[in-house]
Amino acid sequence: MEQGDSPRSVNRKLTSLKSFYRFLLKEGVVDYNPMRRIISPKTSKRLPEFIETEKIMALIEQMADIKGFSGLRNRIIVEMFYNTGIRLSELLTLKETDIDFHSDTIKVLGKRNKERLIPFTKKFGSLLKVYIAEKEKSFGLVPELFLTDKGGKMYPKRIYLIVKNHLAGVTTLDKKSPHVLRHTFATHLLNNGAELNAVKELLGHANLAATQVYTHNTIEKLKRIYKQAHPRA
């Protein structure tokens, strides 16, 4: 630690040493484990990175005039991550039949094969209809919602690059991934007063602990507002 290694790096090395000494004890090479007395340093929690509302709105506005199958598909992918908080693995399995335009919901098959319904706005629904019509014009009736430029099955790396290229113009975050848009979706909901349990259901989390990490961002915002607005802050 004194040499400048982070607590995370130290803990990684300690884990290796602890495993090594357990092995030595088991093999009878040593009769004492010196690692038992070593206390691991505390590590700070990494807060989820997210994009500010103004930047996301600017990105959506930039994409407003995009036309053609590939451009529309890319726009829908970016907006779907932000509008629904869907996971990359979930987006890849979406079919046209998963979208219900009557109730404005998307049926998602999440982890542990658990289904959930995620609502979307009328505006996004209208955009989806335009995209689906363009897809059918290009490739006919194909059940998968997202296809490659040649009509093949979409794959994770392609989705990742689409998101990364679009986010590059609006954010300087190191990570420009679908998961950052999922974090942004959750953070923006909580910042605007959404209940934690509701966000948990929308994200498809098994328990509240996984969702609570987003409240740290909300608390930081509350602190800033407090400092700016309170007479004695």
Tokens for 22, please give them: 């357990």
Catalytic residue IDs:
87, 111, 179, 182, 205, 214
* Contact (Cβ atoms closer than 8 angstroms) between residue 78 and residue 177: no
At 5-36, the pLDDT tens digits run 888 899 999 999 999 999 999 999 999 999 99
The DSSP output letter for 192 is T
Task: Categorize the per-residue pLDDT at 172 as very low, low, confident or very high, splitting at 50, 70 and 90.
Answer: confident
Give the domain 53-224 fold. Answer: hpI Integrase; Chain A (1.10.443)
Name the residue ranges covered by the structural domains of the chain.
7-37, 53-224
Query: What mean pLDDT comes out for the span 122-138?
Result: 95
Which helix (H) or strand (E) segment is 99 a member of? strand 99-100
pTM exceeding the 0.85 threshold for the entire prediction = no
Cα separation, 72 vs 145, whole angstroms: 12
Give SS3 for 144.
strand
Task: Categorize the per-residue pLDDT at 153 as very low, low, confident or very high, splitting at 50, 70 and 90.
Answer: very high
Which pLDDT does position 196 carry in this prediction? 92
Which pLDDT does position 12 carry in this prediction? 92
Where are the strands (E) in 104-219, listed by range?
105-109, 115-119
For the stretch 138-171, what's the b/e string if a residue is b when 16 or more beta carbons lie within 10 angstroms of its beta carbon? beeeeebbbbeeeeeebeeebbeebbeebbeebb
For the stretch 79-95, what's the b/e string if a residue is b when 16 or more beta carbons lie within 10 angstroms of its beta carbon? bbbbbbbbbbebbbebe
Q: Is the pLDDT of residue 43 over 80?
A: no
Instruction: Give me the residue label for tokens 């909901």.
Output: 189
